[in-house]
Chain A
Amino acid sequence: MDFIENYKIPLGNWISDFVDFLNDHAAWFFNFISDVLGFLIEGLIDVLQAVPGLLLIALIGAFAYWLHRSIWLVVGIVLSLLLIVNIGYWEETIETLALVIFATATCMIVGVPVGIAAAHRPWLYTAIRPVLDLMQTIPTFVYLIPTLILFGLGVVPGLISTVIFAIPAPIRLTYLGISSVPKNLYEAGESFGATKSQLLWKVELPHALPTIMAGLTQCIMLSLSMVVIAALVGADGLGKPVVRALNTVNIARGFEAGLAIVIVAILLDRICKQRGLNQKER
């Protein structure tokens, strides 16, 4: 036993050295990414905040109505957003929304093509599956530290961590949707002379769409669940008051901010939930 303990394999040191190496030699690269992402997300927040609050609430309500044609949903959405304004977390809600939208967009833009590629190439899926498992199981705080070092304090390391945490969902679900296309539908396309890209756009993606949308919903929820953790590395939003309330043992504040997060989560879930799944499904 002593023998084994005496010769410790310096796993942690290797990783640490690697991160230091990256920080020393590729800092310009990470700074660049940090600046670009920071600029984009700040821009999104500024745009959202430039719109008067009530107008934005009305727009969100209208959007929900356009998607779901349900007046009760709209009433619920407007009332709960007004409640957030009332308890004074509107600004933070906007920041959180921006972070979630940005993270989700990134995940989908990267995740869907990766999922498609994996569905077409079995070896690729075999290769990325352990990576996806790792991304989903490794505790968030563990990769929060290196991202903090590489990208500096602020919203960017929060965003990167959120993406790492949430991206396996759209990848897996896109893979599932594409690889479950029935063979005869694929052959129907082929037999009428479809090219590879026509098969993708006219057969595979339409068939996988409900599954990909489920991936989108999951991705949004996972991103939202990272809000508090992102706040630890300095991302603005509803996470910050929660962290602050924790540090000052402020029950009232913690509860209010937590409630706002729950409201945002429910709203996003209801808005994203697919309409008429029952009429589309057989």
Chain B
Amino acid sequence: MTGSGMKVVDFQNVDIIFGKDPQKALTLLDQGAERDEILAKTDNVIGVAGASLTIEEGEICVLMGLSGSGKSTLLRAVNGLNKVTRGKILVRDTDNLVDVASCDARTLRHLRMNRVAMVFQQFALLPWRTVAENVGLGLELRGMDKAERAAIVEEKLELVGLSQWKDKFAHELSGGMQQRVGLARAFATDADILLMDEPFSALDPLIRDHLQDELLELQQRLKKTIIFVSHDLDEALKLGTHIAIMEGGRIVQYGAPEHIVLEPANEYVAEFVAHMNPLNVLRGGSLMTPLEQLKREDDEVLLDRAGRVRVKLNGSGSPESVSLDGYLGRLTPYEPGMDIAALPSTALITAPCDMSMRVAIELRQATGQPVALVEDGKLVGVCGDEEIYAGILRQSSVADKAPETGL
């Protein structure tokens, strides 16, 4: 699920500095001074330095890093809660891009009311208002009349499954439900851009997991552009179509989840990666041994080194038949939700390249055979024991490189 190619939010060399004399801090920053040095010399805190990032329509971009890395600061600059000291943040407003850093108050208000909505870590619901009144806040600020508002509120509460709670006060709900109210409130204005500032961090792990799934499911339907702040790599990998890792106010690595996991740009990223679970992140395509590197004998492709598993390809490169130890096997396409444990050992599974590592291991364990990876019906590679081990080891080799910090 990648973006449609239309820029929605574009950070251009954004510096955000907190303090009384940001100009002096900028000068030092340009001379290459570090954060601590600038703090000591000018009493200014570098929130974000030199951040450039382009976010396209329909993406979920996760800003990720430890606390104090500037991820929230950068997020909050998109709707002007934090002021940009230098640089531009372009936000799409239908046909043109508006620079939040330099626009006037009216334009900013227009963006906040119609284009950008926000979900907060501590929910930030108004406790004296009912759930429905909270959800309708943005519409009320816009000046929409009560009847019109009620219909939209009803619809958005339906969306997050809280219709029957609409007349309760926010604090009568559990944390997970409160954050659903927060989500509904953000959806209510029909803004295309959603800013989510560690929205699930305050919740229990189980509830957090539920809400992540719900968000993904809603995103399938609503196709918002989401900027999501998280300090949890597993969350980032689960939700993000792209991840930007931040350290000390700078973006140190930006890319697709797999890219972050397989090629950490520095030790800081590597350390994050060392503690994550690779099973759901790595895909067959990045684990496999590609077709070109496989041995061929006559018209057969050997899927393992010993030559036990041989696949015959037809003229267009699609697997036609398979022999296992000389016996005829059965080519079985993988379907999500199939009963993996019931697969016979005579089956050779053909699976799409975006199959997760977890599925690859399950299939390998159930059939005893490697998994053939296909794309558009054609054989492109294989994922067997060696590839799976290599996938795990790539993790641990990364972890070995990371310094012991006792984290």
A residues whose Cβ falls under 8 Å from a Cβ of B: 182, 184-185, 187-195, 198, 202-203, 206-207, 209, 280, 282
Contact = CB atoms under 8 A, between A and B. Distances in A.
14 contacts: A184-B121, A184-B124, A188-B118, A191-B81, A192-B113, A192-B189, A193-B114, A193-B138, A202-B126, A203-B126, A207-B126, A207-B128, A209-B128, A282-B127
A193 B127 contact: no
B141 A189 contact: yes
Given A193-B142, A206-B129, 16 more contacts: A182-B124, A184-B122, A184-B124, A187-B120, A187-B124, A188-B126, A189-B137, A191-B81, A191-B117, A192-B113, A192-B137, A192-B185, A193-B109, A193-B141, A202-B141, A206-B126
Interface hub of A189, A193, A198 (most chain B Cβ within 10 A): A193
A182 B122 CA distance: 11
A181 to B, nearest CB: 10
Contacts of A202: 126, 137, 140-141
Given A184-B120, A184-B122, A187-B81, A192 B128 contact: no
Nearest to B122: A184
B171 interface: yes
B323 interface: no
A203 B171 CA distance: 16
Contacts of A203: 126
B241 interface: no
Nearest to A210: B128
B110 to A, nearest CB: 7
Contacts of B312: none
Interface residues of B, number: 29
Interface hub of A187, A189, A191 (most chain B Cβ within 10 A): A191
Nearest to A191: B118
B107 to A, nearest CB: 11
A207 B126 CA distance: 8
B112 interface: yes
Contacts of B114: 193
A40 B114 CA distance: 49
A192 B126 contact: no
A189 B79 CA distance: 12
B122 A193 contact: no
Interface string B70-114: 000000000101000000000000000000000000000111111
Given A191-B79, A192-B141, A185 B124 contact: yes
Contacts of B117: 191-192
B112 A193 contact: yes
B128 A206 contact: yes
Contact of B110 (A193, A194, A280, A282): A193
Contacts of A187: 81, 120, 124
B70 to A, nearest CB: 18
Contacts of A198: 141
A203 to B, nearest CB: 7
Nearest to B125: A188
Interface hub of A190, A207, A282 (most chain B Cβ within 10 A): A190
Contacts of B109: 193, 195
B81 A190 contact: yes
Interface hub of A182, A184, A192, A280 (most chain B Cβ within 10 A): A192
Nearest to A196: B105
Contacts of A182: 124
A193 B79 CA distance: 9
B401 to A, nearest CB: 39
A282 B126 contact: no
A213 to B, nearest CB: 13
A193 B81 contact: no
A209 B113 CA distance: 26
B371 to A, nearest CB: 47
A206 B125 CA distance: 13
A211 to B, nearest CB: 13
A187 B109 CA distance: 13
B124 A194 contact: no
Contacts of B185: 192
B124 A193 contact: no
A71 to B, nearest CB: 27
A213 B111 CA distance: 36
A202 B117 CA distance: 18
A188 B81 contact: no
A185 B110 contact: no
Contacts of B141: 189, 192-195, 198, 202
Contacts of B195: 191
Contacts of A188: 118, 120, 124-126, 137
Interface hub of B81, B127, B129 (most chain A Cβ within 10 A): B127
A192 B112 contact: yes
A276 to B, nearest CB: 12
Contacts of B142: 193
A282 B125 CA distance: 13
A156 B111 CA distance: 53
Given A184-B120, A202-B140, A282-B171, A191 B128 contact: no
